[in-house]
């Protein structure tokens, strides 16, 4: 009986393979693909986003870019369209939370549609890789948002500069579209790691040494799969590859130089192997509790990184040697996955895939904050306010202190911590008036795969729920298509680690599950409607 069941399962799997291998070689040109890339690196000092303290950029380690993929199926006004943009930024300001009209998403949409009026702006979406060495891009016109005067381009000026460059690339990608096809595959690389340690007390902490008596376990799951989408021109030449991984790039995230982090090395390595003209499109999957930090066994891994990928560049400072080795090791892991799958993809090109794009504004339940949590946050805020005012008085009395390198680190960190408490109060008041928060969600079907966006740093469990229940063969969850606040699981909120506290969340576990259900509803609709 067991043998019979196994034979039936094998026979069914063979049918699926035969079905895929029967893909016709019909290159009629119904499906169009366009690519472009823009260097969005500012040419003057900017504020870098990603740490509590301010950082004024002190140079460029490597460029930050925006990569654009434009797709269209059908002809004329009724054709289905999508333009998606991957940006080497921390997040994408979208105005959904503060009502600001001067935000990156809307600026880019407006500029693209001015040049391509047949495009609906809702068919354009942007998402960030979450490098922590990217320019601060927002509608904030105040370069001194950290409480002290800093000599840098304001976030609003940066927003204008980068918006124009992304929009130009978006128009180019749309104009560049030509008949082509897609194939998709699944690879593996051990890059993403859960970064939260659970303690025996039931509490959780982000990162840190696990060599402590109260360490219990790593809090959550890790996803080492890599979703891959390959694009081809009409002559079966590879034109680009979409790489979807469940971690953000922060190997050198504390530096004072602009950098795309390990995505820079990935681009170089993939192009070295597959061709200098191949576009590399990064996507960060649900990864709010993930990173490249290694909680257990880190010393052994760092040793192997330095043995296998030594940094011989004399210009790299000593503190950067291990992080740069880590970047190279990660790049090789990812490139290995891309090239392991690549040789098989040419036999599975779909030249006319089912293609559909939907966007909905979804109302999610806001994170519930108690009055006690507000009181605690305000008390902490007052303590930091006292420290901030003391430091500010010292600088006012001794202006010469500002001549010291990076003089502003401590005072700007304290200012950020002071403002976090105020933010908790504001969120509590907002929750009373508007218990639901609108967010933009995009779902794209391309053949048998689905792409689904969210604006958050979404904890991995929510992404896994989407992937587990999706009707698509592969589901590419894409986070940070918005402002990027954390959405923690119930387990993590109970543990109280960074990322799961009221100051970090606009939406909590309840809203996270609502996002899962709505995203799955949208995916299912596309797969039911376009059978």
pLDDT score at 359: 97
Residue 181 to residues 19, 37, 278, 445, Cα–Cα distance (Å): 17, 20, 15, 14
Q: Degrees (nearest 5) of the Cα angle 409, 411, 414?
A: 105
Q: Which of 468, 521, 489 is nearest to 220 (CA)?
A: 489
Host H or E run for residue 5: helix 2-21
Residue 235 makes CB contacts below 8 A (sequence gap 6+) with none
As a whole number of angstroms, the distance between CA 111 and CA 166 comes to 9
The per-residue pLDDT of the chain, averaged, comes to 92
pLDDT score at 531: 59
193-194 and 290-291 strand pairing? antiparallel
Q: Which of 449, 464, 470 is nearest to 356 (CA)?
A: 449
Alpha helices (H) in 346-458, listed in sequence order: 371-397, 409-433
DSSP 483-529: S--EE--HHHHHHT-TTSSGGGBSB-HHHHHHHHHHHHHHHHHHHHH
What pLDDT band is residue 314 in, cutting at 50, 70 and 90? confident
**Other Cβ atoms closer than 10 A to 336:** 16
Q: Which residue, chain included where needed, has tokens 């699944």? A: 186
Residue 306 to residues 191, 301, 320, 456, Cα–Cα distance (Å): 16, 9, 11, 34
pLDDT score at 305: 87
Q: At how many degrees (to 10) do helices 104-115 and 155-176 cross? A: 40
pLDDT score at 141: 59
The pair of three-digit structure tokens given for residue 363, joined into one six-digit string: 């109302």
As a whole number of angstroms, the distance between CA 42 and CA 140 comes to 17
Gyration radius of the chain over CA positions: 24
List pLDDT tens digits, range 383-416: 999 999 999 999 999 999 999 999 999 999 999 9
pLDDT score at 503: 92
436-446 and 449-453 strand pairing? antiparallel
pLDDT score at 206: 94
As a whole number of angstroms, the distance between CA 322 and CA 252 comes to 10
Host H or E run for residue 217: strand 215-218
What pLDDT band is residue 356 in, cutting at 50, 70 and 90? very high
pLDDT score at 4: 44
Dihedral sign from CA coordinates of 506, 512, 514, 520: positive
Phi and psi (nearest 5°) for 40?
Answer: -110, 25
Phi and psi (nearest 5°) for 14?
Answer: -65, -35
Least confident of 99-108, 202-211, 351-360, 497-506: 99-108
As a whole number of angstroms, the distance between CA 278 and CA 266 comes to 12
List pLDDT tens digits, range 418-437: 999 999 999 999 999 999 99
What pLDDT band is residue 265 in, cutting at 50, 70 and 90? very high
List pLDDT tens digits, range 441-491: 999 999 999 999 999 999 999 999 999 999 999 999 999 999 989 999 999
The pair of three-digit structure tokens given for residue 484, joined into one six-digit string: 């990027």
Question: What average pLDDT score do residues 35-46 get?
Answer: 97
Question: What average pLDDT score do residues 307-316 get?
Answer: 84
Q: Find out whether 256 and 202 touch, Cβ atoms under 8 Å.
A: no
**Other Cβ atoms closer than 10 A to 477:** 28
């Amino acid at each position: 009986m067991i043998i019979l069941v196994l034979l039936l399962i094998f026979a069914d799997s063979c049918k699926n393979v035969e079905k895929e291998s029967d893909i016709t070689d019909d290159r009629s040109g119904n499906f169009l693909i366009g690519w472009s890339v823009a260097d969005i690196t500012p040419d003057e000092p900017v504020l870098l986003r990603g740490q509590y303290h301010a950082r004024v950029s002190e140079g460029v380690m490597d460029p930050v870019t925006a990569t654009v993929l434009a797709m269209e199926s059908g002809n004329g006004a009724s054709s289905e369209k999508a333009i998606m943009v991957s940006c080497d930024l921390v997040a994408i300001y979208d105005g959904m939370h503060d009502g600001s009209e001067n935000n990156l998403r809307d600026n880019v949409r407006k500029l693209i549609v001015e040049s391509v009026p047949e495009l609906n702006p809702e068919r354009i979406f942007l998402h960030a890789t979450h490098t922590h060495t990217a320019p601060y891009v927002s509608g904030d016109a105040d370069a001194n948002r950290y409480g002290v005067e800093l000599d840098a381009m304001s976030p609003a000026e940066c927003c204008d500069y980068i918006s124009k460059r992304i929009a130009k690339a978006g128009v180019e990608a749309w104009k560049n579209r030509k008949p082509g096809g897609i194939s998709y595959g699944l690879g593996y690389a051990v890059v993403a790691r859960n970064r939260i340690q659970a303690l025996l007390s039931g509490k959780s902490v982000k990162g840190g040494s696990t060599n402590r008596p109260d360490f219990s376990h790593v809090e959550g799951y890790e996803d080492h799969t890599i979703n891959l989408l390959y694009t081809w021109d009409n002559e079966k030449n590879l034109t680009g590859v979409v790489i979807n991984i469940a971690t953000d790039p922060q190997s050198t995230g504390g530096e004072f130089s602009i950098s795309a982090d390990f995505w820079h090395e990935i681009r170089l390595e993939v192009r070295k192997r597959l061709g200098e003209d191949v576009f590399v499109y990064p996507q960060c999957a649900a990864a709010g509790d993930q990173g490249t930090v290694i909680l257990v066994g880190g010393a052994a891994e760092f040793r192997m990184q330095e043995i296998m990928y030594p940094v011989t560049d004399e210009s790299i400072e000593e503190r950067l040697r291990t992080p740069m080795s880590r970047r190279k090791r990660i790049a090789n892991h990812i490139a290995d996955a891309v090239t392991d799958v690549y040789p098989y993809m040419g036999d599975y090109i779909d030249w006319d895939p089912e293609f559909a794009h939907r966007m909905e504004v979804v109302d999610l339940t806001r994170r519930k904050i108690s009055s006690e949590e507000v009181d605690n946050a305000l008390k902490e805020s007052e303590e930091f306010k006292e420290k901030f005012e003391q430091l500010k008085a010292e600088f006012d009395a001794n202006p010469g202190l500002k001549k010291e390198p990076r003089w502003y680190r401590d005072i700007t960190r304290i200012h950020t911590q002071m403002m976090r408490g105020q933010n908790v109060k504001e969120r509590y008041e907002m929750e009373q008036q508007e218990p639901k928060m609108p967010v933009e969600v995009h779902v794209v079907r391309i053949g048998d795969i689905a792409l689904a966006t969210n604006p958050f740093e979404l904890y991995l469990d929510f992404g896994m729920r989407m992937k587990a229940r999706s009707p698509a063969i592969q589901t590419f969850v894409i986070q940070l298509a918005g402002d990027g606040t954390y959405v923690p699981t119930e387990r993590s909120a109970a543990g109280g680690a960074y990322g799961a506290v009221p100051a970090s969340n606009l939406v909590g576990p309840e809203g996270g599950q609502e996002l899962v259900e709505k995203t799955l509803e949208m995916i299912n609709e596309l797969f039911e409607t376009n059978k």
